[in-house]
Structure 1
Amino acid sequence: MDKLFSCCPALEHLIIDGQVDDVLSYNINISGPKLKRLQISFIVHKFDTRSSNVVNYVCQIFVNADAPYLEELDIYYDFLVSYSLTDAKSMRKAKIDFLDVDELDNLHCFLGLADRVRRLFAEIFNVKYLSVSAAILGALGIKDQHLLPTFDNLKHLELQLQTCCCLQSLPTLLKLSPNLEHLVFENNTKFCADDNEDEFVHEWDAPEFVPVCLFSHLKTICLREFKGCPNEMEVAKYLVKHGKALNKVTIYTRFCEEKEMKLQPPIASLCLEVSKFPRGSKTCEIGFLTFT
């Protein structure tokens, strides 16, 4: 790998797509004096997170990137990777998508995932655009999330949810983003059905103090895959009520399947209820878009 990079002094865009099959340890040293965009994806085929012997697996990948002009970092599903970014001051955009919460709960205790998350966030603190899977914050625990850095330059945040418990990550990220202007909130969970109540025991817990960005900078909010379950409604109501600088809130909701009709509120009544939320900004408009 070192020889390969030394032969590519003008390299600007690098994609590493790896499939790891064995219990091994890898060291990848990336050197790109002109590298601007780095995409990394590792899939571990034989790593069964539900196995009782999972603790015996020691497969780890260490990525050391010496790329002073790196602007974009895209990481996907590589919970076994440790990163060391040399001088990431030029980075403006990062997308971090790890795995599901259940797998994180099984792994972070003995693979040091919490430390890796903290180190990675500490190295990308300068970004203006951040897309993050809320599941990775579950590796830290609510009490440890204060150890994350402040994203003073962050203007655009996209938060991906896997389960309702991920809602607990929102207050933390808002608090850490004092100058945030645009928030995209995507709910990829299934609707909160009665027979799956155990999966949604984590209710929305509004922060004691309103985050600075809400009453001073946040201009637009986009709520995708909005289903209208109680937790979602409370979050939307909180954001609209405390968004003093809000100009527009856009809510995307889909026509639900027939089997979910009894669970999900009708779109018309959902829109009516949201439109009645108290608004912290007199200029705030709430728009609804439906899709199949």
Structure 2
Amino acid sequence: MSARNPGMDLDLEWVSKVRVNTQAVLKRAQQVQGCKVAKKQWQAAWLLKAVTCIDLTTLSGDDTPSNVHRLCMKAVQPVRHDLLKSMDMHDKGITTAAVCVYPSRVADAVKSLKAANSSIPVASVATGFPAGQTPLKTRLEEVRMAVEDGAMEIDIVINRTLALTGQWAALYDEVRQFREACGHAHMKTILAVGELGTFTNVYKASLVSMMAGSDFIKTSTGKESVNATYPVAIVMVRAIRDYYLRTGQKVGFKPAGGIRTAQEAVVWLALMKEELGNEWLSPHLFRLGASSLLADIERQIYHYVTGRYAAYHELPMA
């Protein structure tokens, strides 16, 4: 992970001046979706880059130590060794960026990765994920427990009520407290953009979260009806850019929810490159939150290497 974002004092004047031009955002989103995707070895290179930015995630009610263990093994070896070898990439240390689980499964994930001699960080969702509707005291305690169990990254959710009712000072204070509870762990702040109503609200929530010290801002929990979309991403990355120009602090971006195909992953990388530059093309500043995306990327790489598509049983989860 990159240097921490120390945050800044809440600047309500900056927040109140925010206006987002919806038509311009939608037009830019259309351009992004229409961009030509690289072919052959260039596409394979982009796909491997995408793999290294994935937060490989399981957030199910039926998570067990064994399926978390499988997920960790997949994170350590996300693409079959023989495929990497034929691309001469087998010794480049390609792993996913992190493994993301519920707080109660953090210890399992840490144990599995330690046993595999891997330094992949464990990320944990906390703060009453996904709704964020539990009492503040409980949400803070959840963050502390996940960090105690070995989580190096915490994905918090903001209180949507505060954002929807324009209580920016209260939102700032809450996120500040979460940041403190995270201690040395990096904090990714989930805005749940599908529940914020307007682009202007998304931009304001992005700004306030960054002012409060978020190291990353993230689109969604993956549990809302609307998740990561290109228009919302453009609003958020422009907020990241403005914050960087104003403070010199680089904040990361994580789209999550509904990202399933290799092609989409490449579009997301292209969006980052065009909007924020090459520096944001690394796991320090860009993550893809996904559970099924890796399977499709591995299928595409298999196709690149062999010229045919694999059956799903040829590329098991782990």
Q: Given the two structures, how large is their TM-score scaled by the length of structure 2?
A: 0.30
| Structure with the higher fraction of residues in strand conformation | 1
Q: Mark the structure with the bigger radius of gyration.
A: 1
